[in-house]
Structure 1
Amino acid sequence: MTRTIAMDDLRWARGFTDPADVRQQATTIREMLPTRRVWRGDGPTWTLPTDYTDLSGIPLNLPNQPEQSLSDFLAGAHSDGIAVVHRGRLVYESYLHGCKAHEPHLNASMAKSYVGLMAALVEAQGLFSRDDVASKFIPELTGTAFGDSKIQDLLHMGTDVTYSDRKFYRTVEASRFWAVVAPNLRPANYRGPETILEHLATARTAGPTGTEFRYENGNVETVGEVLRRVTGTSLAELLSELVWSRIGAEEDAFYIVDSSGTEMAAGGFSATLRDVAKVGEMIHCDGAVSDRQVIPPSIARSLTADVPAGYPSEVRSPRAPVDSPPTMSYHDYWWILNDPFGSFMASGIHGQRLLISRNLELVVAHFGAHILSPATGTPDFVPAFIQVGTHLTSSPRELAPSNQTSQAEE
């Protein structure tokens, strides 16, 4: 008799209801699973100039909520840390619940956006075309939903898939994916795929591609494998070469790897808050770090390019109520907010965010551990961060010397 796998059999899913458990897993993932280092390189650290401003008490007016301070919002959102960069200076940094500035934190689905960035950089080298089907580079996926899809469709969540012919439920499939990557998270009597590539091979096409937005990890994992095949290197080495070793990162980052040594591209990346903020500031500055060009300006700008023809121009967050209007766009795994401030972001479960707002000259990096519950909903991170940006923009400050130290908690 085949055993039905219930959601509460999955340890990762049980952690969704307890902020302390979410935080513990997000900050100690290297102690639980094998990882591969994303080397920071041997160059100097890029120290962001600081102009520390105590933002903890600024008032926020969020939809359907009483006025609250930023510190109250962060507490209610189970935040682990926040770093705010405005006009090129680190103006605010705070860590909660014992989290430390030098300790990596799981980025969750923010990692998808880094894959989108790497894909744009590798495409610019002429190593693949967006019109190529993935099986051109991954013959093991020939005849599967992801293998038969164009890379352009994969980069825009434009596939319609089912795994092992079972009805698709996104939340359940996300938890099953963790069971593939992490043996200690598998339910009893697990008989499913044991590597990411094996998991992708079970995907079958359930509908037309390139017409609708369907948020699914397999798209990212397939693009990650394409990048490995065309460059001949691991995803960790590629990210180090293209970005991490060039932004003056303070710490190494890490990818979770499966039993075959394949990185979990869609959500298995950990890094420190400051280094994530540096990625955001580099993109905000059209690919530059101080006087050095890290990536071409055209690539930094391409992340918010128009959505390709055939794709919906507006989508809703995967966790938004189904009756809510679609307001965002989605391009190369980046969320484009379509607001007056030119804002876009990388976003991950439990409150992981990297918000870049060009018109406000704002970058906000945030780590969190908020629970997934219909009773609480997702905190209003974007409105809160935008209000922080408008406060900074409308409040003139005398710039502090660039060697001033941040009063962040350590």
Structure 2
Amino acid sequence: MPEIFPSRPSAKAGPVWDLPPGKELPAIAYALRGSQVPLAEYFERRRVTSFLVLHRGQVRLEKYQYGRTADQRFASYSMAKSVTALLVGIAEERGLIRSLDDKAEAYAPELAGSAYGGITIRHLLQMGSGVRWVEDYGGRDDVAELWGALFRIYAGGNPTQVLARRRPMDAEPGTRFKYSTGETQVLCHVLKGATQRTVADLTSEWLWQPLGAQADGAWLVGWQDIEYCGGGFNATTRDYARLGRLLALGGRRDGTQIVPEAFLKRATDPDQQPPGFRLNEPGPRFGYGYQFWLFNGGFMLLGVYGQAIYVVPALDLVVVHTAVWPKSSDPDSREERDAVFRAIGRAIAQE
């Protein structure tokens, strides 16, 4: 993707966080509609491009298919939303954002007077703005208009205007989860205004370099010189695993706190979510934190077409999954992938 669209690197620097090989995983089978399916068959059944199991910092399984390699960067799609949230948390800790309860327009004056401009950063992180946004991946929805405007696919498109145009409210802010890439893109404007720096540079300095990435990451950049924070990050599978382990360890690497611990807890702990965003409530398929999907015992970064980072902190377990599903959110592929994640977690827990 960074070679096809305009992009900006998030440079690596310093010693790489080593991921040594660990012992081979035990024989694993996952439950699927009353049957037990061997893990090896999963890679024949679903269009997985890369898969990595990292346990206590050791690689227990690493697999690439369809000609992909460990040196290549994979599109994150909406896993980028979680990266954006981490940058917001770090910006708050550094005093560049005064409070998560500030309105977006305090840092993004280009959105002043709009529905999104009047929403707090906290509610944007939750995807709880209440602002109407249609995201059904049918090619004519709001996210298609935003993408087309960012990358000039449609004549006359303006990505800021897509966000700032008149939009009705469907709910009181902070009361209801409604998935919206637009809300993450507003956070991109907030970060740029608060820091006067690019999101790619922030990612490099605040995340990629301190976590010891092996390769540069890359953000897709729209024509107004703003990153596509809703889905435009790209990285190697091993670097996604390093990011997952950083989060599994509470935002720390080798004793150094990289992501603020309290922010990360609030972003990923199901018990800290307000009504409307908790586990098993109407709205989110799981619980939803600050741009993270939550389940009992852990959380996930998720993107369309099968991208996922599955994190279980108590087990120090990270599973990275990249794919090219036939549909943006294919229910059968999703059900099977999640069954694989759960089976790996159970096997690790029983060791």
Identical aligned residues as a percent: 29
1:50 aligns with 2:21: yes
| Structure-1 residue corresponding to 2:96 | 127
Query: Does the CA contact (< 8 Å) of 1:108 and 1:266 recur in 2?
Result: yes
Alignment TM-score, normalising by the size of structure 1: 0.78
Deviations 1:52-103 (A, max 9, x none): 4156x521113x1532121211332211111111122111111111111011
Q: CA 1:212/1:394 → structure 2, altered by over 3 Å: closer, same or farther?
A: same
Instruction: Report deviation, 1:199.
Output: 1.9
Cα distance in 2 for partners of 1:161, 1:281 equals 34
Query: Does the CA contact (< 8 Å) of 2:276 and 2:283 recur in 1?
Result: no
Instruction: Report deviation, 1:170.
Output: 3.5
What amino acid does structure 1 have at the position aligned with 2:136? R
Deviations 1:290-341 (A, max 9, x none): 354433433443332444545432467xxxxxxx88662111101111x2xx
Q: CA 1:102/1:112 → structure 2, altered by over 3 Å: closer, same or farther?
A: same
1:279 aligns with 2:252: no
Cα distance in 1 for partners of 2:341, 2:245 equals 15
**Which region of structure 1 is more displaced relative to structure 2, 384-393 or 233-242?**
384-393
Query: Does the CA contact (< 8 Å) of 1:77 and 1:379 recur in 2?
Result: no
| Structure-2 residue corresponding to 1:170 | 136
1:387 aligns with 2:348: no
Instruction: Report deviation, 1:174.
Output: 2.4
Cα distance in 2 for partners of 1:216, 1:382 equals 22
Instruction: Report deviation, 1:30.
Output: 2.0
Q: CA 1:297/1:176 → structure 2, altered by over 3 Å: closer, same or farther?
A: same
Aligned length: 344
1:260 aligns with 2:224: yes
Instruction: Report deviation, 1:376.
Output: 4.3
Cα distance in 1 for partners of 2:132, 2:335 equals 31
Paired residues for 1:296-307 under 5 Å: 296-305=260-269, 306-307=271-272
1:238 aligns with 2:212: no
Q: CA 1:326/1:250 → structure 2, altered by over 3 Å: closer, same or farther?
A: closer
Instruction: Report deviation, 1:117.
Output: 1.1
Q: CA 1:72/1:224 → structure 2, altered by over 3 Å: closer, same or farther?
A: same
Match of 1:348 among 303, 307, 317: 303
| Structure-2 residue corresponding to 1:34 | 6
**Which region of structure 1 is more displaced relative to structure 2, 250-259 or 200-209?**
200-209
Q: CA 1:291/1:206 → structure 2, altered by over 3 Å: closer, same or farther?
A: closer
Residue 243 of structure 2 aligns to a residue whose secondary structure is helix
Cα distance in 2 for partners of 1:276, 1:307 equals 25
Query: Does the CA contact (< 8 Å) of 1:307 and 1:330 recur in 2?
Result: no
| Structure-2 residue corresponding to 1:87 | 56
What amino acid does structure 2 have at the position aligned with 1:154? L
**Which region of structure 1 is more displaced relative to structure 2, 141-150 or 198-207?**
198-207
| Structure-2 residue corresponding to 1:198 | 161
RMSD: 2.3
Instruction: Report deviation, 1:162.
Output: 4.1
Instruction: Report deviation, 1:157.
Output: 0.6
Residue 3 of structure 2 aligns to a residue whose secondary structure is helix
Q: CA 1:310/1:149 → structure 2, altered by over 3 Å: closer, same or farther?
A: farther
Cα distance in 1 for partners of 2:335, 2:12 equals 32
Q: CA 1:252/1:246 → structure 2, altered by over 3 Å: closer, same or farther?
A: same
Paired residues for 1:9-408 under 5 Å: 29-41=1-13, 43-54=14-25, 58-62=28-32, 64=33, 66-128=35-97, 129-162=99-132, 168-171=134-137, 172-183=141-152, 186=153, 190-191=154-155, 193-194=157-158, 196-207=159-170, 208-305=172-269, 306-309=271-274, 311-314=276-279, 328-337=286-295, 339=296, 342-372=297-327, 376=332, 378-395=334-351
Residue 113 of structure 2 aligns to a residue whose secondary structure is coil
Instruction: Report deviation, 1:176.
Output: 2.4
What amino acid does structure 2 have at the position aligned with 1:37? P
Query: Does the CA contact (< 8 Å) of 2:266 and 2:272 recur in 1?
Result: no
Deviations 1:188-234 (A, max 9, x none): xx45523x323211251332322111101111011111111111110
**What 5-or-longer segments of structure 1 have no aligned partner?**
1-28, 317-323, 396-410
Cα distance in 2 for partners of 1:325, 1:219 equals 16
Residue 31 of structure 1 aligns to a residue whose secondary structure is coil
Instruction: Report deviation, 1:127.
Output: 2.5
Cα distance in 2 for partners of 1:182, 1:52 equals 45
Residue 177 of structure 2 aligns to a residue whose secondary structure is coil
**What 5-or-longer segments of structure 2 have no aligned partner?**
none
Instruction: Report deviation, 1:361.
Output: 2.5
Cα distance in 1 for partners of 2:88, 2:217 equals 19
Residue 126 of structure 1 aligns to a residue whose secondary structure is coil
Query: Does the CA contact (< 8 Å) of 2:104 and 2:116 recur in 1?
Result: yes
Q: CA 1:35/1:92 → structure 2, altered by over 3 Å: closer, same or farther?
A: same
What amino acid does structure 2 have at the position aligned with 1:378? R
Residue 90 of structure 1 aligns to a residue whose secondary structure is strand
What amino acid does structure 1 have at the position aligned with 2:312? S
